[in-house]
Structure 1
Amino acid sequence: MTISVAALWRHPIKAHGREPLERAALEAGKCMPWDRHWAVTHEATKADGSEWARCINFSRGASSPHLMALTAKLDEASGKVTLSHPELWDLTFDPDEDAQKFVDWVRPIMPAERRQSTGIMKVPGVGLTDSSWPSISLLNLASNAALGATFDAELSMDRWRGNIHLDGMAPWDEFDLVGKSIRVGTAEFEVRERIERCKATTVDPLTGQYDYDTLKSLRDNFGHLDFGVKAYVTKAGDIARGDTVEVL
């Protein structure tokens, strides 16, 4: 069985848009470059930018489903991000300088009864992923297909907001990687834990509307609420679409 990289993704602003990549240069002990580099604060945020903070401090798809339909494009040279949404005009802005411009732009798709976005935060050198340690998420295409089959539908992988999509595995075999080391391209990883999922995954990433109850199906059909695994980069290296994955 040959396991390969089917897709690479990053999310420059946590919960606010996904961006496909052809390749990435990884550093040991770091997230995917520019992944969750920024996060959007809300009215009850307690995070102050001095350290990693839990996702509850930030605006996210679990409570604001329309955010799931955002796509992003980062210009690394200028630090500017372009966000697109089916219900809004495209916005190009500097998250470090134009936070209010973003807040005004995103307001129409934020639920009025939920905490409203107030600004954009970053922690230098720290990716604001859902784990307190610098994680990269690996997802299995076959697991997604198995879950989709319970709805007699093809589910978009985009709803899982992962970094590395893997092809060539049997459904749920990614869980067997936990506790093992793998090599992807010239980078090496320690696979640490499964990813427990939230309500954001019940949203269609094309429309931002609720569609399939992925959580109920995971629980009822597979006995868990997990999709994908988190890994830690132990050896720096380059990864690219089409690379082979080797279990060490």
Structure 2
Amino acid sequence: MTHAVTGIWRHPLKSHGREALEKTTVSAGQTMPGDRVWAVANEQSKADGSKWVVCGNFSRGSQSPALMAINARLDDATGLLTLTHPQRSEITFDPENPADLQRFLDWEKPLLPGTARASARIIRVPGRGMTDTGFPSVTLCNWASHRAVEQAIGHGLSPLRWRGNIWFDLGEPWAENDWLGREVQIGEAVFAVRERVVRCLATTANPETGERDADTLKVLKDNWGHQDFSVYAEVVRGGGIRLGDAVKVL
């Protein structure tokens, strides 16, 4: 059975906002263009931009839930990034320009709790996005699994909690977990599905308010015995992807 792409999202600055797309073009062995291009290293991080490092080096939604309410717009032509948040005025800056760094840090600081490590700098790793996986990954999400979580928790949830890249509806919850070790064609591109995504506290925060208001992790554990939602995949054949494109297991 063939299914269709219902959503395409990128997150230009890791843990600092998301942007909806109508189309994208992916390349083999790469993250989605414009996704996790930059990350905000905390004051204790040893990340220097020379290589991929684990997420504990960065300011992120699991420790600072208010970050979950950020929306982003990346101008691909100029490299300028615009962030909005219900508690902050809009900011536009160049993540590559050291002169803009302090302005961003001042904008972000009120969104970090006192218990979180302070943000220190923005880094970029050449050739790949700073995904949570050691390999450049794209996160594939199934609407049917999201609806199952909503039903179990007893009320609606924004799918933006999951910070996924490509959405589709398989009609059956957790059917995507059966894709491990298989290849899936989405539009012109082909993905090898490699891992289930183990979820963290970031998903407990409301993407509209930045406040923790749903125990997604407990619901996953109590109902399905895991903390997983969606799957990590690697692009093995590049190509264009648009809303409405077919999704099929090869």
The alpha-carbon deviation at position 100 of structure 1 amounts to 1.4
TM-score by length of 1: 0.98
Aligned ranges 1:1-248 → 2 under 5 Å: 1-97=1-97, 98-248=100-250
Q: The residue matched to 1:192 in structure 2 has which SS?
A: strand
Q: How far, CA to CA, are the matches of 2:51 and 2:4 in structure 1?
A: 34
1:217 maps to a residue whose letter is V
The alpha-carbon deviation at position 2 of structure 1 amounts to 3.0
The alpha-carbon deviation at position 30 of structure 1 amounts to 0.3
1:25 maps to a residue whose letter is T
Q: How far, CA to CA, are the matches of 2:116 and 2:160 in structure 1?
A: 24
Q: How far, CA to CA, are the matches of 1:100 and 1:125 in structure 2?
A: 26
Q: CA RMSD in A?
A: 0.8
The alpha-carbon deviation at position 3 of structure 1 amounts to 1.5
Q: How far, CA to CA, are the matches of 2:141 and 2:4 in structure 1?
A: 11
Which stretch shifts more, 215-224 or 164-173? 164-173
The alpha-carbon deviation at position 168 of structure 1 amounts to 3.2
2:69 maps to a residue whose letter is A
Structure 2 residue runs without a partner (length 5+)? none
Give the count of matched residue pairs.
248
1:73 maps to a residue whose letter is R
Q: How far, CA to CA, are the matches of 2:165 and 2:123 in structure 1?
A: 21
1:62 maps to a residue whose letter is S
The alpha-carbon deviation at position 152 of structure 1 amounts to 1.4
TM-score by length of 2: 0.98
Q: Percent identity?
A: 52
Q: How far, CA to CA, are the matches of 1:156 and 1:115 in structure 2?
A: 27
Q: How far, CA to CA, are the matches of 2:171 and 2:58 in structure 1?
A: 34
Which stretch shifts more, 56-65 or 115-124? 115-124
Q: How far, CA to CA, are the matches of 2:199 and 2:230 in structure 1?
A: 9
The alpha-carbon deviation at position 119 of structure 1 amounts to 1.3
The alpha-carbon deviation at position 130 of structure 1 amounts to 0.0
The alpha-carbon deviation at position 26 of structure 1 amounts to 0.6
